[in-house]
Amino acid sequence: MTLASNSELIVEAQTPLPTRHGSFNVYVFRSAHEPEGREHVAIVSGDVKGAEDVPVRMHSECLTSEVLGSLKCDCREQLEAALGRIARNGRGVVLYLRQEGRGIGLTNKIRAYALQAQGVDTVDANRELGLPDDSRTYDQSAAMLRWLGVQSVRLMTNNPEKEQALRSLGVEVRGRIPVLIRPNPHSLAYLETKRDRMQHKLPVQLLAVGTDDAE
């Protein structure tokens, strides 16, 4: 049963959900402008309607780390850190976006991983496949935040492009909250590429720790 809809979003379902991080209200959205069946989820802690400076994480789906436990990236750890933070804070939103592999989909992501196993970094792997470095969009995020009534956000991210994208969509972003995860030997090169080629704000000291671990 559809609970609500407008020109941007259809709200398909909602429920309270207890988790090991805390209790949340979960809303399932479907975008009217995306492929049929693609659903996005807002995971909400506390009352955010009319609220300002709400901690918000826009998190893209990563099956390989979140389900299979892959060590090639820090996606699962970032998701869990964000959920834990908003639960402890008593207010916040994690927007879980169905944009696997920075928007290229699972099949192409695994193809890119195969190239990375041969020594190609994440950016050049996409390019060898004829794919953009990052094809994600955030229209659905802005629409979900408007539906939830959030007035302004502090974005939980290391990626300045996400801040710029939300601002361009009319969302007031009042600051950035870093989500810094200790690297492991398998994720270090990936995080270095994100810092050096994708302008992610990752401190040199954080990645130096990963170098020590790798040794």
| Contact yes or no for 85/156 (Cβ under 8 A) | yes
- The rounded distance, in Å, linking the Cα atoms of 74 and 61 is 12
Tell me the C-alpha distance between 188 and 134, whole Å: 19
For residue 146, give both structure tokens: 């408007």
Q: Which of 57, 85, 111, 134 is catalytic?
A: 134
Is 136 one of the catalytic residues?
Answer: yes
- Cβ-proximal residues to 122 (8 Å cutoff; 6+ apart), any chain: 112, 116, 190, 193, 194
Report the C-alpha gap between 72 and 190 in whole angstroms: 7
Question: Which of the residues 136, 139, 167, 197 is marked catalytic?
Answer: 136
C-alpha span between 67 and 89 (Å, rounded): 26
Q: Active-site residues: which are they?
A: 134, 136
